[in-house]
Structure formats: C-alpha cells, structure tokens
Amino acid sequence: MAPEGAAQGAPGLRIVHLDDDLAVIDKPAGLVVHPAPSHRGPTLVSELGGLLGGGDPERPGIVHRLDKDTSGLIVVARNPEALAALQEAVREREVERRYLALAGGRLASRTGTIDAPIGRAAKRRTRMAVAGAASREARTHFEVLELLPRESYVEARLETGRTHQIRAHFAAIGHPLTGDPTYGGAARYGLARQFLHAHRLAFRHPRTGAALDLTSPLPPDLAAALEAARAE
C-alpha cells in the first residue's frame, strides 16, 4: 500500500509512501526529527507515533536525518529488520539523496564535487566546519540548474551524509546557502530558513528489492524565494 496524505498534527507533514516495512515522509521545515536534550516540542518521531519501529526507543525507525529547517523527503523504518537493512543501504551508499539549494553567488563550474572532511567547529559547537574536530570524510556532488543574477540554483547529491554537510560544504567554497545565517548566507526574499529541500529519494525496498524513486516539489516559501531570485 502507498497512500499519500497528511500525517498526524504537524502542518505540512505528509506520508508519500507507506507499506508494512517503511514510510517515506515529506517533512516540513521547522520540525525536528527526533527528541534531543536541547529541544522541547513536537518531533517527527512524536508526530508519527506507532508508525515507527526498530532501534532506539527514543528515535525508533530513524534511518537518516534532516536538519530542523530543511524540508523534504526522509525514509523511516517500521520494524527492526527494515531499519537494519535501510541503515546498511545508507552506509553502502545505495540510497540516493538529492537536494535543491540556492547558493549565494554564481558558481564557476556547472558541475563539481566538494570533497572535504567535516567536523565540529572549534568555537561554535552547533556549527560544522571543514577540517573541524573529529573530521570525517564528506563528499557532495552538485549540478547548477540555473545561474541567477545573485545566486546559483543547484541540485546537490550526497555521497556521504554528515551533519550540515551541504550547508558547510557550500560555505567552505564561498557560496553559503541563501537564508542560512549559521554559515554566512544572506537573508533574502523573506526566507526564515536556509534554502535547502530534500527533493528526491531513491533506493531498493529492503524486503522486495523493488525500486522506489520519490520526489517532492519545492514548498511555497522556497518556490516564492526562487521566483524572487530570478526577478532580481
């Protein structure tokens, strides 16, 4: 079964695929994925309730994460077997994760790879940095979809999945994401968050092996910002 529709009470939270083993969720910006000591309030885990299963009871079924203010697609497991298989697929880089982003400035190359290890920033522990503390390998592939007057509209594909990877990588090459003050991005077009949306998720079903390839359109705030950027 693969119904599409609203999930629980969080505005904008949608289930785009559901079966006995997993669900793919379209997460709205502003929603934290799982509980943490620094956060009080609704989370993706609390909103989905008994839909999730497997792993840590504080974060059941969580295969990978999206930042609080990043919108888009995330896959979650419904039982321990699916969780283990999906986590292994992520480790083996068999889950394709693509994002739409608006990067400040005009990139010189239409395609490229940012290959730079990421770790915690020394002075701001909530920020990641290239060659930061306990750095781990990180690679982001990108393609410029459109060169705009002051920005580049890009699709980014994760090869690895480090915390804040796309945001830190584009900041490191001098093109921080629009609306991302944490990494030096300009506040423009009325955005209240970084312009970053997980728009495509593709992988093999852990039980059946069937190919799943799901997409999510830009949410209204990002779509409006993109049109404003084009009109600059």
Tens digit of each residue's pLDDT (9 = 90 or more) over 22-37 = 999 999 999 999 766 5
- Cα–Cα distances (Å) from 67 to 41, 205, 226, in that order, read 15, 24, 20
- pLDDT, tens digit, for every residue of 42-52? 899 999 988 99
Cα 122 to Cα 119: distance, rounded to the nearest angstrom: 9
Q: For residues 178 and 213, is the Cβ–Cβ distance under 8 A?
A: no
- Among 54, 69, 92, the domain-final residue is 92
pLDDT at 172 over 50: yes
Give the model's pLDDT for residue 1.
44
Nearest alpha-carbon partner for 203 in 80, 44, 87: 87
Do 71 and 180 fall within a single domain? no
Examine the domain organization and report whether 171 and 84 are in the same domain. no
Query: Do residues 80 and 104 share a domain?
Result: no
Same domain for 143 and 62: no
Record the pTM: 0.92
Helix (H) or strand (E) holding 29: none
Assess whether 19 and 121 both reside in one domain.
Answer: no
Quote the CA–CA distance of 115 and 136 in Å, as a whole number: 11
Last residue of a domain, one of 59, 92, 125: 92
Residue with tokens 């990180």: 138
- Residue 112 and residue 202 in one domain: yes
> 79 and 148: one domain?
no
Q: What is the pLDDT of residues 75-90, one digit of tens each?
A: 999 999 999 999 999 9
Could you tell me which residues come within 8 angstroms of residue 85 by beta carbon, excluding any fewer than 6 positions away?
A: 206, 207
Domain that residue 68 falls in: 1-92
Residues 160 and 201 in one domain: yes
pLDDT at 79: 97
221-to-14, 56, 70, 71, 98 alpha-carbon distances in Å? 17, 34, 12, 11, 19
Active site residues: 67
User: Which residue, of 43, 59, 92, is where some domain finishes?
Assistant: 92
**Domain with 191 in it: what CATH number?**
3.30.2350.10
For every residue of 53-81, which 3-state class applies, written as one string? CCCCCCCCCECCCCCCCCEEEEEEECCHH
Residues 142 and 70 in one domain: no
Cβ atoms of 139 and 161 closer than 8 Å: no
On whether both 221 and 122 belong to a single domain, the answer is yes
CA-CA distance, 153 to 104, in Å (whole number)? 9
Length of the chain: 232
Q: What is the mean pLDDT of residues 195-213?
A: 98
* Domains of the chain: total: 2
Tell me: do 55 and 132 sit in the same domain: no
pLDDT of 38 reads 64
If phi over 0 gives left and psi between -120 and 50 gives alpha, with beta otherwise, what is residue 189?
left
Is the domain of 113 the same as that of 195? Answer: yes
Strands 71-77 and 196-204: parallel
